[in-house]
């Protein structure tokens, strides 16, 4: 699927503050946001999901959310997402050791049991050739309550959906 550049010139006025903030924060408008904004109602839905998943009172810790987001990005080969999510975790923990070890997290010994369980679950949900095993889900229940499992599931599913603009969008130059 290819989208024309014209499609991105029509960002509605009520979404402009979001993009101004994005430009202030990252120095530019981010491509995925422009893709989602090309269908404003879809953008508002995506923004609502992100806001819910990233809220302060989420039962999933900010560090686990970031680690899972990076790992899903790595599996989906989205370097943009890896970089953006790595920036987020660096603000949260101010240490790159876990980010650097993430591709080989099983061998690193740096990850807590909660983090390792969440990463295993993220991999099983993301890899299309496998299903989430019963043993993985039992481990999840040892580390997370049901609300956290639902939110973790939503986060992983959303991260996989959010890869779409990176994977299929190449803005066609006119």
Pick the CATH number of 62-162 from 1.25.40.10, 1.10.287.1080, 3.30.420.40, 1.20.1290.10: 1.20.1290.10
- Are the C-beta atoms of 63 and 153 separated by less than 8 Å? no
Residue 136 C-alpha from the chain's centroid: 21
Per-residue pLDDT of the chain (174 residues; tens, 9 = 90+): 456 666 666 778 898 888 888 888 888 877 778 888 888 898 899 889 988 988 999 999 999 999 999 999 898 887 777 887 788 888 888 778 898 899 999 999 999 999 999 999 999 999 877 789 999 999 999 999 999 999 999 999 998 887 665 555 444 443
Domain residue ranges in the chain: 3-55+168-172, 62-162
- Structure tokens given for 65: 């959310």
* pLDDT tens sequence across 79-91: 777 887 788 888 8
* pLDDT tens sequence across 116-152: 999 999 999 998 777 899 999 999 999 999 999 999 9
* The pLDDT value given to residue 6: 66
Burial 83-104 (b: 16+ CB within 10 A, else e): ebbbebbeeeeeeeebbeebee
Predicted TM-score (pTM) of the model is 0.82
* The pLDDT value given to residue 164: 61
């Amino acid at each position: 699927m290819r989208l024309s550049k014209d499609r991105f010139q029509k960002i509605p006025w009520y979404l402009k503050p979001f993009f101004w903030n994005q430009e202030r924060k990252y120095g530019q408008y981010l491509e995925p946001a422009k893709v989602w904004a090309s269908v404003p109602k879809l953008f508002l839905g995506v923004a609502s999901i992100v806001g819910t998943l990233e809220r302060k009172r989420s039962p999933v810790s900010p560090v686990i959310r970031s680690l899972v987001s990076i790992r899903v990005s790595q599996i989906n080969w989205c370097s943009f997402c890896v970089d953006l999510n790595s920036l987020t975790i660096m603000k949260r923990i101010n240490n790159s050791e876990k980010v650097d070890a993430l591709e080989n997290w099983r061998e690193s010994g740096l990850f807590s049991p909660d983090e390792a369980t969440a990463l295993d679950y993220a991999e099983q949900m993301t890899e299309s050739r496998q299903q989430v095993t019963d043993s993985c889900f039992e481990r999840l229940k040892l580390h997370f309550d049901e609300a956290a499992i639902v939110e973790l599931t939503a986060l992983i599913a959303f991260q996989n959906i959010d890869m779409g603009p990176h994977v299929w969008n190449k803005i066609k130059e006119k």
